Structure formats: C-alpha cells, structure tokens
C-alpha cells in the first residue's frame, strides 16, 4: 500500500501544530499541580490546525480527535479511512512546562493503523512510521534514522517507562516487573516512541478506559520498530469501537520480553 502522501501530510500537520504549540508554550504560565484531565485552549487550536490540514488534503476521510472543535464536528467520524488525532498528548506536561508532551496523528484504513506520527515539539523531535515501511526518527534538521526496539532478554535488565509516581512510592507495575530501571514521563505518545526508539524496553498502561487517540499513532511506531503491542491481558488492540473507547489496557514491549512480563502483569489491578 502506497502511503507516502498520507505520511507526508501527517508530518506537515504535526509540524504546523508543533510550531503553534511552542509559540503558545513560550508565554504560558506554568500550572505546577495541573490535574491529569486538564485541557487548554492550545489543545483546541492545535487540533483545528491539524484537522483542517488533513481535511484539505483528504476531504472524504473521517476524523477522530479528542477535542470538540468545528472541523471535527462537521466531518464524518467513521469510515474506511479515519484520521485519529491527539493535538496535545500529555497536556499536564504542557501545563507544567516540563516539555513532556506530544502531538499524535494516526491513520486507520479498514481498522488497521497505516500511518503514525508522534512529534515532541519541545525537543523538535518526530518519530514516525507507515505500515510496512519501518519506524524512523528525525531530530531538528537532521537526516532520518531507522528505529529498532531493544534486544534485552531478561526483565531484571530491562527499563520500564511509566507516568510520574508519587515521590518514594513505586507503582504496581514497577513492583510486578522488578525491572532494573524506571523512566518517568507524561504522554503515552512519548512513552511508545521511547519503546520504538530502543531507549526503554517496556510500557504498560493500566487505565480501565481511554481512547483510540491516546495510543493509535504510537502503537504503529513500536510494531514497525520490531516490537509487540497488545492489550494488558494479551489480546489484540482494536480501533474504531463505539466511542473510540479502549478498555483493555495496553502493553508495549520489545517483543522478546512480552511473554515473561505478561505473566507477571496478570496480578496487577487496573485503575
């Protein structure tokens, strides 16, 4: 399937949003204790930039996104081709001004992820993939570099990425897996990109309910980099369900560690 144009348009849309976000970010007053569910006007304006760009290029495609904005409201929400957008994934990181947020754009074709883009505006770093074309990293104005997941074979030597935990308190996932190292950051997009780039080995999402836009783009990055992505209990992740809802959690790994980690994860409770 030739997807070069779709990928290029997605990259353009992400960069448009990224420039807008960073302009607003410079003047944004930090919110030190920003709640997890925070949304800002920048989320909405960023989403409009993305959706308008996608809609101009592919006017018959459906749109799925987090915020209620005019372009989303006027477009079909389901179809054979559906763009899935999170304009700022990790808005808490944006609000705290710690740089831990991303722009996520994915394309579903007949329910399969065909294109995925995760841009980290604060670092001017984009990780992207198209189905069957591998996963790639481009930093600033540098040349694209192929991404590969790690080759770690033992959990005691692995690195887990997770959201920030309370000081002095280990997460249930951390206690269950007993990895050598834990990296903490906001944004599922950032976490999945870290797995895809081989900077960490594992990412576990234990939320009982989240949405397609939280994971769609990053999911493809991991798989195209040679990793494995499943629901928390091992089932396949399905997109385009009613309300674009995900209820099975998410587990992304380098593939080699998936089975052994899954055995340990069976004991943990979902949020």
Rounded Cα gap, residues 72 and 93, in angstroms: 24
- Quote the pLDDT of residue 254: 98
H helices present in the chain, as ranges: 4-27, 41-57, 70-74, 91-96, 172-177, 188-196, 216-224, 258-265
Beta-bridge mates of residue 81: 109
Question: What's the full length of the chain, in residues?
Answer: 271
- Quote the pLDDT of residue 33: 86
Domain residue extents for the chain: 4-146, 155-265
Rounded Cα gap, residues 71 and 63, in angstroms: 9
CATH of 155-265, one of 3.40.50.2300, 3.40.190.80, 3.40.50.1100, 3.90.226.10: 3.40.190.80
Those residues with Cβ within 8 angstroms of residue 168's Cβ, 6 or more apart along the chain or in another chain: none
Tokens linked to 83: 């763009």
- Quote the pLDDT of residue 271: 57
Rounded Cα gap, residues 189 and 39, in angstroms: 17
The total of other beta-carbon atoms located within 10 Å of residue 98's CB is 16
Q: Which of 263, 254, 265 is nearest to 225 (CA)?
A: 254
- Quote the pLDDT of residue 270: 62
CATH of span 4-146: 3.30.540.10
Q: Do domains 4-146 and 155-265 have the same CATH topology?
A: no
Q: Which of 192, 179, 175 is nearest to 135 (CA)?
A: 192
Tokens linked to 40: 């800002």
What is the 8-class DSSP label of residue 269?
P
Residues 89-141: tens digit of each pLDDT: 999 999 999 999 999 999 999 999 999 999 999 999 999 999 999 999 999 88
Tokens linked to 252: 């992304």
Residues 36-54: tens digit of each pLDDT: 888 999 999 999 999 999 9
Q: Tens of pLDDT along the chain (271 residues)? A: 689 999 999 999 999 999 999 999 999 999 988 888 889 999 999 999 999 999 999 999 999 999 999 999 999 888 999 999 999 999 999 999 999 999 999 999 999 999 999 999 999 999 999 999 999 999 988 899 999 999 999 999 999 999 987 776 788 899 999 999 999 999 999 999 999 999 999 999 998 899 999 999 999 999 999 999 999 989 999 999 888 999 999 999 999 999 999 999 987 766 5
Beta-bridge mates of residue 218: none
What is the 8-class DSSP label of residue 171?
-
- Quote the pLDDT of residue 10: 98
Those residues with Cβ within 8 angstroms of residue 139's Cβ, 6 or more apart along the chain or in another chain: 123, 124, 125
């Amino acid at each position: 399937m030739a997807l070069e144009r779709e990928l290029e348009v997605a990259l353009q849309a992400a960069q448009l949003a990224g420039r807008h976000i960073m302009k607003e970010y410079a003047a944004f007053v930090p919110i030190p204790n920003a709640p997890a569910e925070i949304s800002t006007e920048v989320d909405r304006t960023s989403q409009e930039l993305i959706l308008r760009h996608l809609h101009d290029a592919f006017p018959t495609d459906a749109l799925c996104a987090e915020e209620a904005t005019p372009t989303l409201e006027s477009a079909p929400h389901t179809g054979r081709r559906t763009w899935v957008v999170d304009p700022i994934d990790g808005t808490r990181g944006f609000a705290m001004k710690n740089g831990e947020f991303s722009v996520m754009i994915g394309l579903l074709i007949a329910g399969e992820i065909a294109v995925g883009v995760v841009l980290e505006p604060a670092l001017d770093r984009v990780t992207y993939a198209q189905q069957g074309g591998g996963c790639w990293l481009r930093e600033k104005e540098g040349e694209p570099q192929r991404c590969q997941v790690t080759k770690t074979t033992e959990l005691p030597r692995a690195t887990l990425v997770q959201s920030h935990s309370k000081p002095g308190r280990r997460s249930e996932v951390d206690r269950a897996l007993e990895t050598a190292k834990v990296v903490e950051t906001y944004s599922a997009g950032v976490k999945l990109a870290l797995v895809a780039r081989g900077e960490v080995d594992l990412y576990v999402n234990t939320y009982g309910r989240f949405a397609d836009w939280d994971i769609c783009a990053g999911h493809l990055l991991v798989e195209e980099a040679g990793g494995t992505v499943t629901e928390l209990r091992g089932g396949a992740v399905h997109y385009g369900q009613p309300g674009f809802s995900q209820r099975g959690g998410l587990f992304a790994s380098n593939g080699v560690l998936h089975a052994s980690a899954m055995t340990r994860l069976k004991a943990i409770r979902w949020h």
